Each structure stands twice: as C-alpha cells, then as structure tokens.
Amino acid sequence: MKLEHGHIWIKDIQLGNETKVEKGVLTVDPDALAAFLKEDSKIKNIKIDVARPGEEVRIIPVKDVIEPRVKVQGSGNGFPGVTTKMAQLGEGRVNLLSGAAIVTIGDIVGFQEGVIDMWGEGAKWTPFSKTFNLVVDIEPVEGLDPHTHERTVRHAGLRAAEFVGKAGENVEPDEVKVYEIGTRKEEDAKYPNLPKVAYVEMLISQGLLHDGYIYGVNSQQILPTLIHPNEELDNAVISGNCVAACDKITTYQHQNNSTILDLYEQHGKTINFIGVILTPEMTTLEGKFRTCDYTAKLCHNLGADGVIISEEGYGNPDSDLVMICKRCEQKGIKTVLITDECSGWDGMSQPLTDMAEEAVAVISTGNVSHVVELPPAKKVLGNEKAIYTLAGGWEGCIAEDGSMKCELNAVIGSTSEIGYHNCTVELY
C-alpha cells in the first residue's frame, strides 16, 4: 500500500463568511458549519470559537481532538464505516490541514474529560497547545439515552473535521510525505536480514465512554486484528474514549500515530516493519486471556522478531500489557512496552498495577498523578468547573483568583502512551 500525506501548513484560523485556505490561513464560516452539524436532528445548538497557541485561553471539558483532512485521490473520504460508506483505506493522497485541529467540548454522558491550556504551565504538557484549534461546543437535544448522546457528540466532531477539511481539497500541499509498505513477501525479499518488528496497539474497550472504533466497529467486538499501518494513518481508527484525559488516544493522535511514524522512519534501515495489531483491552479475566493469547499468536505467526506494545489507559489494562509481553517473550519475541505510571503525587507508589519479570524494556511516558498549577485564564471555552469531576481534579481545586491545581490525569495528551506528547527525559 502507498499513502501520501499532503501537508498544508496552517499558520492561523479565522472566522469569516466562507471556508477556505489561503496563504496558510484557514478561514471557517461558523454559520455554515453550525448549519451543517445541525442537520443532525439530535443536535440542539452549536457554538464555534478559535483558540490559538500562546493565547490565555482554557478549553474544558474536551471530548476529542480531530485533524481536518480530505481524501483527494483514492477511496474512502471522511471516516468510512462511521460518517461515510465503508471503503478500504490506506492508499491514495490525503490533504491534511496540518497544525489545525477540531476540538469538541460540551456536556457528555459521564464525567471524565480533559483540559487544554493554550499558554503557561498547562501548555507545556499538552501537544494541543501548539495547534490552531477550532473549538466546537455541542449541545444535544434533551432526553437522549446515554449511548445516543455519546454517539451524537462523537459524530459531530468527525463531521466538523470533514467539513473543514474540504477547504484543502484544491490546495497544493506545502510538503508531501509518502508511506509505503508492500506485502510481507515483497518486504521480506527486500530486507531479508533486518529484524521483523510488529506494533501491538492496545485500545480501550470497556463500555460507554471507554471505547475505540475501527472502521466504525467497536473494539469491544473484535479479536486482535492485523491492519496495514497506512489504514490508521488514513482515518480507520477513531476515539470514543473519555477516560483519563492524559492517556486517551484522541482521533488526532490515531491519525498521526507517532509510534507508527517512528517505525516507518526505521523501515528498511534498521527494521522490517511488518504491521499493526489492534488489540482490545477487555474487562473480564476470560476476555484478557483470550485477547492476550490471540495477540501473541498473531505476532508468532507473522514471524516477528520484536514487538512494540503500547497501552491506552492504566489500571486493569496494565495486566493486558504485561500478559502480552510475557506470552511474546516466552515465544522468543523481544518486547518493548510503552506505558505511563500512576505513581501518586510524590511519585513513590507502585507505577503499574501488574508486572512480569519478562518486562525488561519499558518506556515510561510520565506519572499521571503529577500535580500541576495552572494560572487563571483570560478566556474559558466551556465550563471550568468541569474540573471538579474530571479524573485528576477535585472539588475546590479552583482558587478564588481562577487558578487551579490538577493532576496530569486531567490534561489532554499529557502522558500519551503512543508517545504523542510533550514529555521528555533528561539523562545524567
């Protein structure tokens, strides 16, 4: 498969009377976008605003972040199986409005969502302080059942990304990047002496507000599934996850999965990248044994010499992480784990709920319990008191001057377990 990403670098977002891209400036017609989204009769009201890097703006509570893009060559525009008809993804040309993001906010079912600060201490911890954010505040009609409410808000964000992404349809990209991997037979013939490396991406799969989707299929309903890496880079995987914001993988992060991009960078140089296995994180012990056994079997049958395993969330998914590790290592497959830690405010608590002696190569993406102090915002998009019920916030964490304390738990993307974050490590 060969996929091209045509990057149109966005330097600003403005609201105007039409939706277009001109000289790096994305202009969006808010009335037209709102009318488009309200074609869904389950949406009562839409409010649209812009948040730029460096502005003293706080966005809360965030549901999802999505990159606006448009397919200009090949099949499968939009989000096939969700907002458009099913189509095979992973080939052709996609134009990306790089540097722009759709950020959805508004009341949803449940309480675990996130915060993005565009400046100051909070901006240091989230990658979405660096994007030009079109903030879409979605108010569904009253009386929806929880699953319909969640689906309505989730689909509105995706449809907003489609609407805005079309502005790049006839724009010449500033840069084109090519991602191409052939069949196993073709790649093994080209790189017979390079170690075969697979990527196991664990997806939260635990019920309402705790799900990922592959071509519109809830990850709860799948066995571990092999996909071509281009499929994820072409909108096949989206987020339905509103658990701890720090390590939820937003749709934007799936679209630009940094682990996949890093593996692509080494393909044909130091490794033979043989594919992505999407693995659900189940809640029952029987489910964990089934998926972990199946994942290790897939890795073995692919002939993998090494596997990188990334987690989504923490707590009981830690067991899935080390169970897959143990099974792969016992089959002679070397593993590297990517996970964050829940180590308490002082960093001294046990970082994972489970461990195995085979887990000897572990990359930490940070401590979700680390407490940050966020200064008062000049402008709040959404409702800052949502922090009281966010994972990582608590009643009374907002001071009289509007400043707040919270754990990284509450900050979108701060400890992303696919490595898409701002955390760095200093070696001494």
User: Which residue range(s) make up the domain with 331?
Assistant: 2-410
pTM equals 0.96
Q: How far is CA 328 from CA 43, 256, 295, 317, in A?
A: 46, 27, 9, 17
C-alpha 128/C-alpha 63 separation (Å) is: 13
> Is residue 108 one of the residues assigned to a domain?
yes
Q: What is the pLDDT of residue 427?
A: 41
Q: What is the pLDDT of residue 369?
A: 92
> Is residue 115 one of the residues assigned to a domain?
yes
Q: What is the pLDDT of residue 112?
A: 64
Q: What is the pLDDT of residue 310?
A: 96
Residues 383/385/388/390 CA torsion (nearest 10 deg): 10
Q: What is the pLDDT of residue 111?
A: 62
Q: What is the pLDDT of residue 391?
A: 87
> Is residue 422 one of the residues assigned to a domain?
no
Which ranges in 140-220 belong to alpha helices (H)?
A: 146-165, 184-190
Q: What is the pLDDT of residue 351?
A: 81
Tokens, residue 296: 């290790």
C-alpha 240/C-alpha 244 separation (Å) is: 12
Tokens, residue 147: 């699953």
Q: What is the pLDDT along the chain (428 residues), one digit of tens a residue?
A: 999 999 999 999 999 999 999 999 999 999 999 999 999 999 999 999 999 999 999 999 999 999 999 999 999 999 999 999 999 999 999 999 999 999 999 876 766 689 999 999 999 999 999 999 999 999 999 999 988 998 999 999 999 999 999 999 999 999 999 999 999 999 999 999 999 999 999 998 877 777 899 999 999 999 999 999 999 999 999 998 777 899 999 999 999 999 999 999 999 999 999 999 999 999 999 999 999 999 999 999 999 999 999 999 888 889 999 999 999 999 999 999 999 988 888 887 878 877 888 999 999 999 999 999 999 999 999 999 999 988 899 999 999 999 999 999 999 999 999 988 776 554 43
Helix axes 285-301, 317-330, angle to 10 degrees: 40
C-alpha 1/C-alpha 39 separation (Å) is: 36
Active site residues: 242
Tokens, residue 426: 């200093």
C-alpha 154/C-alpha 116 separation (Å) is: 18
> Is residue 423 one of the residues assigned to a domain?
no
Chain centroid, CA 127 distance in Å? 11
> Is residue 296 one of the residues assigned to a domain?
yes
β-pair partners for 179: 3
> For the chain, what is the domain count?
1
> Is residue 177 one of the residues assigned to a domain?
yes
